[in-house]
A = this chain, B = another copy of it.
Amino acid sequence: MAVAARTRSKRSTRENRRTAILEAAAQVFFEQGYAATSIDAIIERIGGSKRTIYNEFGSKEGIFTALVTENADAAVAALSVERFAARNLSEVLLEFGRRLLAIYMSPAVIGIYRSIMTEAPRFPKLAKAFYDKGPGRASDRLADVLEDAKARGEIQIGDCHLAADHFVGMLRDNLHLRVILGLRPPPSAAEAEAAVASTVNIFLYGIHGAKLPQRSKRGAQSGAMS
């Protein structure tokens, strides 16, 4: 049936086929999990034959590995490309938190979380690669920022790595868990902004000296975009 769009460059059709396979594989793998996913289920979504998949990825493990690594790379790219034009620590943390939360809540990362947890024993190298490139890298980068601030005497803290882990943990709290478990949809822009603001506030000042955030919990009317 796909005779029409064949005359194009063979290169591009092959690329398109590959990405189409990966998109379909993402839907199935990330929703059903690795073991419960069948190659046929992927094929049903895009048509064609299993032969195409095996020509491109070699095996079921191959397609899952490619899926996780490429999605993780794409997701984490948003965090590592730019340098933060740091003015004050609060602004840096807010921007860092916004980007990190957006990554965590993206469908790709949610799907990777869902599937990699169970399959970590079967794919230890994949699990390590995902952690190192994702949460580990985020924590490392934040730790660097905190080390600088500590060296400048802006903050009083013992272990910057521990604190960085706490910060990313706060962002990835029960909200993230509920989304992963399918108990609620991803947060709206206003909810995300409120969560980031609250996280930064507590991280900087604690609940003792916290400046009251703008209480945008239920009334999503006040939230402005971006």
Contact = CB atoms under 8 A, between A and B. Distances in A.
Interface of A: 31-36, 113-122, 124, 127-128, 130-131, 135-136, 139, 146, 154-159, 161-163, 165-166, 168-178, 180-183, 194-195, 198-199, 202-215, 217
A198 B166 CA distance: 9
A163 B36 CA distance: 37
A217 B32 CA distance: 39
A10 to B, nearest CB: 37
Contact of A202 (B176, B202, B213): B202
Nearest to A215: B158
Which label, helix, strand, loop or mixed, suits the secondary structure of the A interface? helix
A33 B119 contact: yes
A116 B206 CA distance: 33
B203 A159 contact: no
A155 B181 CA distance: 32
Nearest to A115: B118
Contact of A208 (B127, B155, B170, B199): B155
Nearest to A198: B162
14 contacts: A33-B119, A35-B36, A36-B118, A118-B118, A127-B182, A131-B174, A158-B198, A158-B213, A163-B207, A165-B173, A169-B173, A202-B202, A202-B206, A204-B207
Contacts of A139: 174
Contact of A169 (B135, B161, B171): B171
Nearest to A174: B165
A119 B181 CA distance: 9
A172 to B, nearest CB: 6
Contacts of A168: 173-174
B182 A120 contact: yes
Nearest to A135: B174
